[in-house]
Structure 1
Amino acid sequence: MNMTAELVDPAEAAALIAGQHGDPFAVLGLHRLDDRLVLRALRPEADGVEVLEVRTGRKLCALEPVAKGLFAGVIPRRKNRFAYKLRLSRGGDVWEEYDAYGFGPRLGDLDEYLLGEGTHRQLWRALGAHVGSHEGVEGTHFAVWAPNAARVSVVGDFNGWDGRRNVMRRRGATGIHEIFLPGITDGVTYKYEILDGDHALLPLKADPVGFGAEHPPKTASIVRDLSGYDWADAGWMQSRGAQQKIDQPISIYEVHLESWRRVPEEGNRSLSYLEHAQQLVGYARDMGFTHIELTPVSEYPFGGSWGYQPVGLFAPTSRFGAPNDFRAFVEACHAAGLGLIIDWVPGHFPSDEHGLARFDGPALYEHADPKEGYHPDWNTLVYNYGRSEVQNFLIANAQFWFEEYHIDGLRVDAVASMLYRDYSRKDGEWIPNQHGGRENLEAIAFMQRMNETVYGADDTIMTAAEESTAFPGVSAPTDTGGLGFGFKWNMGWMNDTLRYMSEDPINRKYHHDKMTFGLHYAFSENFILPLSHDEVVHGKGSLLGRMPGDDWQRFANLRAYFGFMWGHPGKKLLFMGGEFAQAQEWNNETSLDWHLLDQAPHRGMQALIRDLNHFYAKTPALYQRDSDPEGFRWVDGGNQADSILSWLRFGDEGTRPVLVVANFTPVPREGFRIGVPQSGHWDERLNSDAAIYGGSDMGNPGGRHSHEIAAHGFSHSIEISVPPLATVFFELAENRHA
């Protein structure tokens, strides 16, 4: 019998070779056996193994084969641990490597405690794949949460995707597994091979906290070194807080990177992050937007989901480049004075087998019961917000994007689906909360904690909720029971006003309330008025396509609507293509129809949006009191017969009021009297019917002076020409306020 067999328990040897051993660190590497120092190595790729002392470089001994792929030997004249390497050979090939089982753990007790408690605010700095030095050797440290796993291994080309070779160390009761792999560098692909609690082999899993991912349809994670980026946006980071408050002008250009602009000469490919940094950033700045908002950039397997079914929450999609390329894009936004918001999806995740679904066997990130853990609308899985580790994972991810990528805001997708347990579910398909109600108390607590965490770390950032119900206090502070978001999308305003605009002007008088109802609740939240991607897909057509009438009227209707929107209380959001009246419904697989700008009506629409943005940004009355009822007053909100709306906007003391008049019929009105809050000259500042925008050029050049003629409850009024299907802005010329 081979005497080295005495150095390895036969049962343990069999488990190691079969890949069924749950604690290989207890066997492999250096261990004391009686009074001897024994080294064991599982290297099935080698025929021979020798032990080298790192300090001197000399060979200490050769290990003997115990069983196929398993080697062991006694280190002569050594009693204590030391730094060593293995010299491996197979046929005529010889190479040297450090032994992964020669390194101690990297995670500290505090990491383990916080991870177990679910309070590790920088979870991504403990979990995931981190390039760096450990015990004086360069390599990558891997750590993953898999509490139900019998065994977790890191696999990749570096070990022949053999799950026996780099089994991870389990850290106590936390369910964290870790290992340091020497020699692994940035760019290496990997996955986790997991045996569930019954020792059944699961599909290979991507790293939940992986910082990079292969380009779909490939699904492996990629080691990415996030350290050492030399940010050059300190000035922006110090000043952005003043530019993201509720009393500032915020106009957001929503973009789907894959289809904003393509390169037809190169197979219709999408632009890279670096190309977007030049082209998109310059365009958005020229158009006067204050922010760019991206549909989700977290890695997602299915392009048709537009990113709303992400798998790699910590990895910017590789479709457009590497993580540092994305950082360069963010930096370019900041250099141009633009904030960057990304859509964030903590509401659900896809069931792709390489993702989070049943990550270590049973339900882990999701609920086990499909009445709580399955989303019928999207055929996806719902996070278990009541589990502290899952909450920690999501909240740390939000913080990750702010800290590691300097983003300026998160827009949280599908908040309504998180708030209610019965969302899109029939009777009997959902489970009430502990009080018998429909509210998802755990999801509410999660969102409150998320906002408290990110705003607590940096109050210059912003969060916004896409919330389509009347849930109270979405943008109210958490200490008053609110969810703590900075802003809320006003979905009701969007739905009502688009329905109104789709009506033939002759019928609009019967639907007048759809344009005025939003003012009943306009100041209950910090609202963003969204004309998002959701309004130009799934058969809805384009914004232009929803406007009635002949070609001239359709363009005029849309110009009037944009004017109404920019004059209405609330921050602005417009999906790409809307600014030049994209004619066709948005198609994520092709470029926007930039060629339309060869046509005057589309150029005119683009010019209008540019001018609206610039006018808005330099006119305090249009933004300072967006969330304050004192900043708005109807002049005449009840003129149903003429379908004309008129109102006043006020800024802080000392700013000039703005009068907005919107005519939603094709009938021009001459000599139309409008009440004003004080005497003086009222300059016409912007008219959507101007010829430069494609209109009939009816207006009030030079403005109008008020007269002491009472109208609409005011002692003074002006007599104006109201152009057809148009919105006109007047500003008091003198430095007075109402």
Structure 2
Amino acid sequence: MTSTPTGAATLDDTQIRRLDEGRHDDPFAVLGPRDTGEATRVTAMDPGADRMCAVVDGIEHPLERLAKGRAVFSGDIPHGARYRLRGHTSDGQSWEYEDPYRFGPVMGAHDEYYLGEGTHQRIWQALGAHVMQHQGVDGTHFAVWAPNAQRVSVVGEFNFWDGRRHQMRKRGMTGVWEIFIPGLGEGTVYKYEILGADGALQPLKADPVGFGSQHPPQNASVVRDIRGYGWEDYDWMAGRAGRNAVSAPISIYEVHLGSWKRFADQGNRPLSYKEAAKQLVEYVYDMGFTHIEFLPLSEYPFDGSWGYQPVGLFAPTIRHGPPHEFRDLIEAAHLKGLGVLMDWVPGHFPTDPHGLGYFDGTHLYEHADPREGFHQDWNTLIYNYGRTEVRNFLVSNALYWLDEYHVDGLRVDAVASMLYRDYSRGEGEWVPNKDGGRENYEAIDTLQKVNEIAYSQSPGIMTAAEESTSYPGVSHPVSEGGLGFGYKWNMGWMNDTLDYIKQDPINRKYRHNQITFGLHYAFSENFILPISHDEVVHGKGSMLGKMPGEPSEKFANLRAYYGFMWGHPGKKLLFMGQEFAQPSEWNHDTGLDWAKLDDPAHEGMRRLVRDLNSVYRAYPALHVKDCDKDGFQWVVADDDANSVFAWIRRGGSFEDAEVMVACNFTPVERSAYRIGLPQTGRWREVMNTDAALYGGKDRGNMGAITAEETPSHGQPASATVVLPPLSTLIFVHEK
């Protein structure tokens, strides 16, 4: 039996015309079945039909055209009978289908209440396109937020992209429109056709909460059934909190999946998610990294944005496969003991016509005032963080990746651009906050809510901020006035140390403080030391290309720098290709130059990074107090004449062996350099970046030094050390 509203629909000429033109504000009030008392009156619209009928138990019941030239039909069927619609053309063609207007609403009162309030933390469970069975029929439920629209329709090839055919039901004051369309399922291509607030037809819009998209440059949404993945990473999920903790060894391999590896013999295509689940995961595991961080993988239209201008925030990019295959990649990483982080972009979105901009004919997601709503640097739009529903959209999106895809953390892009209203703006180009200042209170509140809710709802995750200013408390708890991130990228350290290492060694003594200055603030935040994609693009060259000197000196400089980085307090991040010193600048259109590993110098660099990861993980003193000042002590910080640095790293307990790190950033060997040490006895050399295995010349200390009771550098003991040219050495005290 079909449930039908009581009272036959009476359509006047105006209503018929509005239906036929796709301008009726409540099509469910007049289309579908209506109980007349003695029969059921069925009213339907099908612009392709010359004649229509309702089919009950195989018997056709004619529907009468209500107005000449209009595609609206109506007629009676037996009371309460279940029916299907059948259309006919004058040349004998016919088609049969379920009437979408005979189905009741899908969205329940709970969803409606919280969506209307703007506090639905999992909007993807209510909005978007969901494959389901409704009232005993298989189909897809579509729901979209467009509060100022006069009409919203789902369109696609299934209805000839005709917005008159599947006009949606508006759900009260929520601003949400919904419809269940029987017969549609996985793989259906669709968009939303919207009549704006002024009655003007908007460009066709992709689904803001769609789970899939077409392959670019096509940009429609695609129905994806994301239910039913059989996760088997229980052990990882139960224990990942310890792997993301500030006391854990965290060494991140940053990856642009589209260019990590390409298949030249297959049209230069990138890896699929399933291929990456084997090849990338195995490589990262072998290299000893603890986490993979992906540049944004939510759907984006322009390859050249690298994902940083997303349109489909709830859709894993189809460039590498459908959603379940993205899950395959994440689970494969977890089963190998690797965490997966993903770059997330809540700071802006592109102006592409199919995107969020001017979505329902109003500035819905973005600020109307370009001084608040337009990024001049990137020609993108800025979210209106002060709007409850927009803030909730972003918070929910963060939870979506953590919940549905078991992502272990989010690295938030361009946080500085969110924090300040005058970011990259001149006088008169920005709007002060309510107190006349430059801080963006609404964006700050959004970031705090993201972190509070993410950490409370997805235990064990981590968030990291790319924040390039000295904004206080980025990685401090919200309860203490902080932003609530787990970590912050140390952009100051990166800029200072890269500027130092690219100098000719003869000039480094004049920039000595660029190495030491970072320790003045190294423990003010939970820092990640990033050598990211941003340092090897836009004419900056490769890491190897930044190094001074002849080729052998370039490699030696880079090896010493990596040794310095791994010995320095802070978690580690290295962009793909830099682990083997790719000589060319990164190009997102081509794969990494893996052939370079046939060269011993490049293979030596790869082995070095692998071994640095091994040493970093093996000795608690190198990671347990990465974010704690008690874990670090300078020994040699003022030898600018020789460009030598040395320091002690300490762990969290007496059982953790102390570690000494020494760097010589000149091409001159220091053959008997005395360095103070906290304990006498044997200190084993566990890392020497000048080892032949890495491409060096095997100069060093024959595997160990012995500290004697000779005070030096404020320490009770000391040893003479051979510091090879352009090298970093790491020693571990043997108890």
TM-score category (smaller protein)? over 0.9
Alignment-derived partner of residue 721 in structure 1: 722
Q: AA paired with 2:674? A: R
Q: Is 1:560 aligned to residue 560 of structure 2?
A: yes
From 41, 53, 62, give the equivalent of 1:38: 41
Question: What is residue 280 of structure 1 aligned with on the other side?
Answer: 280
Aligned match of 2:585? 585
Task: Give the one of 19, 36, 44 matched to 2:22.
Answer: 19
- For the residue of structure 2 that corresponds to 1:75, the secondary structure is strand
Match of 1:416 in 2: 416
Aligned to 1:451: 451
SS state of the match for residue 361, structure 1? coil
CA contact (8 A) 1:659 1:729 kept: yes
Aligned residue for 2:474? 474
The residue that corresponds to 2:110 in the other structure is 110
- Stretch of structure 1 that moved more, 82-91 or 345-354: 82-91
1:586-620, CA deviations, whole angstroms, 9 ceiling, x for partnerless residues? 11111111111111110110000000001111110
Counterpart CA distance in 1 for 2:430 and 2:115 is: 31
Indicate conservation of the 8 Å contact 1:49/1:71, yes or no: no
* Counterpart position of 2:667: 666
- Contiguous gaps of at least 5 residues in structure 1: none
Q: Which structure 2 residues correspond to residues 204-219 of structure 1 after superposition, within 5 A?
A: 204-219=204-219
- Distance in 1 (CA, whole Å) between partners of 2:415 and 2:45 is 49
Q: CA RMSD in A?
A: 1.3
Counterpart in 2 of 1:708? Answer: 709
CA distance in 2, matches of 1:50, 1:566: 75
Partner of residue 733, structure 2: 732
Shift of 1:35: 6.7
User: Match of 1:435?
Assistant: 435
Which residue does the alignment assign to 1:648? 648
Q: Is residue 403–residue 458 contact of structure 2 (8 Å, CA) maintained in 1?
A: no
Matches within 5 A, 1:689-700: 689-700=690-701
1:118: Cα distance to partner?
A: 1.1
Q: Is the 8 A contact 1:45 1:69 kept in 2?
A: no
Contact 1:249 1:624 in 2 (8 A): yes
1:120–1:602 CA distance, 2 compared to 1 (3 A): same
Tell me the distance in 2 between the aligned counterparts of 1:614 and 1:706: 25
Residue pairs, 1:526-675, within 5 angstroms:
526-653=526-653, 654-675=655-676
Change (3 A) 1:69 1:286: farther
Please state if 1:491 is matched with 2:491.
yes
Q: Which amino acid aligns with 1:239?
A: G
Matched-pair contact (CA < 8 Å) for 1:44–1:70: yes
1:296 is matched with: 296
The question of whether the paired residues in 2 share the 8 Å contact of 1:63 and 1:71 is answered with no
Match of 1:65 in 2: 65
CA distance in 2 between partners of 1:495 and 1:484 (Å): 24
CA distance in 2, matches of 1:176, 1:276: 38
Deviation at 1:98, TM superposition (A): 0.8
Residue matched to 1:160:
160
Residue 659 of structure 1 aligns to a residue in which SS? Answer: strand
* TM-score normalized with structure 2 length: 0.97
Q: Does 1:88 align with 2:87?
A: yes
Q: Spell out, residue by residue over 1:430-449, the C-alpha distance to the aligned partner (whole angstroms, 9 max, x if none).
A: 00000000000000000000
Which blocks of at least 5 consecutive residues in structure 2 are unaligned?
Answer: 1-7
TM-score, with structure 1 as normaliser: 0.97
Is the contact made by 1:253 and 1:576 (CA closer than 8 Å) also made in structure 2? yes
Contact 1:7 1:38 in 2 (8 A): no
CA distance in 2, matches of 1:566, 1:157: 55
**Once the 2 structures are TM-superposed, how far is the Cα of residue 32 of structure 1 from its aligned partner?**
4.1
Describe the superposition over 1:618-639 as per-residue Cα deviations: whole angstroms up to 9, x where unpaired.
1100000111100000011111
- Decide whether the 8 Å contact of 2:23 with 2:151 is kept in 1: yes
Matches within 5 A, 1:192-271: 192-271=192-271
- Residues 507 and 145 of structure 1, relative CA distance in 2, 3 Å threshold: same
Verify the 8 A CA contact 1:669 1:722 in the aligned structure 2: yes
- Aligned partners of 2:54 and 2:77 also within 8 Å: no
Instruction: Give how far 1:458 is off.
Output: 2.0
Task: Give the superposition deviation at 1:84.
Answer: 2.2
**1:51 is the counterpart of 2:59:** no
Residues in 2 aligned to 1:402 and 1:47: alpha-carbon distance in whole angstroms: 51
Letter in 2 for 1:300: Y
For 1:588, what is the secondary structure of its paired residue?
A: coil
Structure 1 CA distance for aligned equivalents of residues 452 and 535 of structure 2: 31
Deviation at 1:58, TM superposition (A): 4.0
Distance 2:693 2:498 in 1: 25
Structure 1 partner of 2:3: none
Deviation at 1:241, TM superposition (A): 1.2
Does the 8 Å contact 1:119/1:392 carry over to 2?
A: yes
1:8 is the counterpart of 2:11: yes
Corresponding residue for 1:358? 358
8 A Cα contact 1:293 1:342, kept in partner: yes
Range with bigger deviation, 413-422 or 327-336: 327-336
SS at 1:448 equivalent = helix
